[in-house]
Amino acid sequence: MKLLRHGPPGAERAGALDGQGRPRDLSLLVEDITPQWLSPDKLRALAAIDLERMPLLPADTRLGPPVGGVRQCIAIGLNYRDHAREAALEAPTEPIVFNKAVTALAGPNDELPLPPGSTATDWEIELAVVMGTAARRVPASQALSHVAGYCLANDVSERDWQLRRNGQWTKGKSFDGFGPLGPWLVTCDEIPDPQALPLQLALNGTVMQRGSTADMIFPVAHLVAYLSSFMTLQPGDVVLTGTPAGVGMGRQPPRYLHRGDVLTLDGAVLGTQRQRVA
């Protein structure tokens, strides 16, 4: 099942893709896709809806982040071996954890606003994990049972604020619009193995990142178990799992985003994103 949210920012409503990949409006039955709709029982109820009887959405309908009411967005740094190499850093022995403000979350095709004066805004295609049930000190063998599903993400990063402004990475990761998410949430029944997903990002039509979640240093089950060892993960929490090589900072010379640039992201079953830098 592929769940989505549609409508203007702040007023999104529930939707889903039907069997032919067409977006349908679920708001007559479910107002919004929020954390309380991500439990196994609620997901089964959503899966039982006859989507063919739900209204089709117009082709130009805006899509928002596929989950509303997100409590926190947690991110993992340097979780691909090739990305650690391009950053000239040792592969971590434990996950590097930081927070990304939930106010950064945006729709998958929303314009990407450059922060005032920014000359070092960068891209990072990632697999996002969305929690379905609370996870507190869970073993890796049980971790995926707490996940509602997965979606595509762009962990946009302002490198000067991230690395040179005397603070945690959160500073460079949390500007408005710096967290495009979606286009939809793919439930776990459609992705039995989150370590077998291709990821590709192109800038103005030129491929910059091409990788696979198989190359993660710490797989999804390990990350959920690790995070739950020192915090309780709640339904709707979003975990960004790291990016493969090919970010702008790693190029020689570095290539950062400018107004008018267009990013296109492809995650196969996770769908596609397109952001124009505004």
pLDDT in tens, 15-59: 999 999 999 999 999 999 999 999 999 999 999 999 999 999 999
Q: How far apart are CA 159 and CA 46, in angstroms?
A: 40
Residue 160 has pLDDT above 90, yes or no: yes
pLDDT of res. 86: 83
Residue 62 has pLDDT above 90, yes or no: yes
Pairing of strands 105-106, 179-180: parallel
pLDDT in tens, 213-251: 999 999 999 999 999 999 999 999 999 999 999 999 999
Residue whose pair of structure tokens reads 């063998």 in the numeric block: 141
Residue 167 has pLDDT above 90, yes or no: no
Residue 84 has pLDDT above 90, yes or no: no
Closest of 31, 5, 7, 8 to residue 16, by C-alpha: 5
Closest of 192, 164, 178, 197 to residue 271, by C-alpha: 197
Could you give the domains of the chain?
69-276 (3.90.850.10)
Q: Can you tell me the mean pLDDT for 197-205?
A: 98
Residue 146: strand, helix, or coil: helix
Taking a C-beta distance cutoff of 8 angstroms, is the pair 223, 238 a contact? no
Residue 92: strand, helix, or coil: coil
Residue 171 has pLDDT above 90, yes or no: yes
Half-sphere exposure of 266 (CA within 13 A, CB side): 13
User: 161 Cβ partners below 8 Å, 6+ apart?
Assistant: 115, 171, 172, 175
Q: Using a cut of 0.75, tell me whether the model's pTM lies above it.
A: yes
Residue 168 has pLDDT above 90, yes or no: no
Band of residue 166 on the pLDDT scale cut at 50, 70, 90: confident
pLDDT of res. 89: 79
pLDDT of res. 255: 98
Phi first, then psi: what are they for 35, rounded to 5°? -55, -35
Residue 276 has pLDDT above 90, yes or no: yes
Phi first, then psi: what are they for 57, rounded to 5°? -90, 145
Band of residue 107 on the pLDDT scale cut at 50, 70, 90: very high
Closest of 174, 7, 198 to residue 107, by C-alpha: 7
- DSSP code of 114? P
Q: Which residues pair with 154 in a beta bridge?
A: 125
Calculate what percentage of the chain has a pLDDT beyond 90: 95
pLDDT of res. 202: 98
Residue 52: strand, helix, or coil: helix
Nearest-10 Cα torsion for 187, 189, 21, 131:
0
pLDDT of res. 90: 86
